[in-house]
Amino acid sequence: MVFRKLKAAFGAGVEVDTVLSNATVRPGEMLRGDVHFKSSGSDYKVEGIHIEFTAVVEIESGDSEYRSTYSFLRQQVSGPFHLAAGTSHSHPFEIPVPWETPISAIGGHALPGMRLGVQTELALAGALDKGDLDPLFVSPLAAQEHIITALDRLGFGFKKADLERGTLYGSTMPFFQEIEYYAGGQWRRHFNELELTFIAGPSQMDVILEADNRGGFLSSGGDSYNRFTVRYGDHPGAAEQALQQGLEAMARRRGWF
C-alpha cells in the first residue's frame, strides 16, 4: 500500500497532516485516508474539513496556450469540532472517485503530461486555508486498459497526454482528456496521429477517436472522428473489435481502406 503525505502549518497555529491510504485508485473506487490535526498553544473551533480533487488543464486563448488548475470535486468530510490547545485530532474519510476522472497512471507508472492532486481545505475562525497538493494517481478501468493495450498491439506509439478545457456530449466535466499516439503498423498509411478520449460511467463508457489523416494523391489531409460505446460486462475482445471497426470506418471515409 502506498502512503503519501502532505503537511502544512496553517497560520492560525494548527498543523495538518493528511495521509492517503490508497493514492493509486481507479474511477468509481473509494479514495480513503485520514486527516490529522494538532493544535499549538490555543483552542480552536474547526468549522469544517473539505477534500478537493484538482487537475492541471490546457487552455487555448487566441494564438496562445496556458495551464490552469481546475477543481472537479469538492467534498466535505467533517463538520464543526473543537480542537483544544496542545491536543490532536484525527478524522478518517472516504470519497468516491468520479467515473470521469482522467487517467494519470498506467502500469504503475505516472502518465506523462498528467497532473492530478488532492488538497485538504480547513475552515477555521471564518477563514479557509489549504494545504499542499498531494499527487493522485488514477489507473485505467479494465475496459479502458483493453483499448490502450489494443492500440499498442496495433502499432500505435504513445506521444503525450493532456487535459483540454471544454465539455463533450455526454460528459459532466469542464475538461476532457486526450491521450495522443503516433500511428504505426498498417495504420501509418492512413493516419499521422490518433487522439483517444474516454467518457466513463458506472456501467459503460464512450470511446472517442480523432485521427489526423494523411493526404492522398487526389485528397488533402484532415481530421476524422469515430465514437463508440463499450459496456463493462462485454467480453474483453469486444472492446478491441469495436476499436478496430472504428479505425476502419475513419480510414474508409478518406477512401483509403
Q: What grid cell was written down for 132?
A: 499542499
The pLDDT value given to residue 256: 45
Q: What grid cell was written down for 106?
A: 498506467
3-state secondary structure of 134: strand
Q: What is the mean pLDDT of residues 128-144?
A: 84
Angle at 143 between CA 112 and CA 146, to 5 degrees: 70
Angle, helices 142-153 vs 236-253, to 10°: value is: 50
| C-alpha closest to that of 13 among 84, 61, 77, 76 | 84
C-alpha to C-alpha distance for 129 and 73, rounded to whole angstroms = 17
Cell numbers 494545504: residue: 131
Query: pLDDT per residue over 160-174, tens digit each?
Result: 999 999 999 999 999
Cell numbers 459496456: residue: 231
Report the predicted TM-score, pTM, of the whole model to 2 decimal places: 0.86
Query: pLDDT per residue over 177-189, tens digit each?
Result: 999 999 988 899 8
**Domains along the sequence of the chain with CATH:** 4-138 (2.60.40.640), 142-253 (3.30.1460)
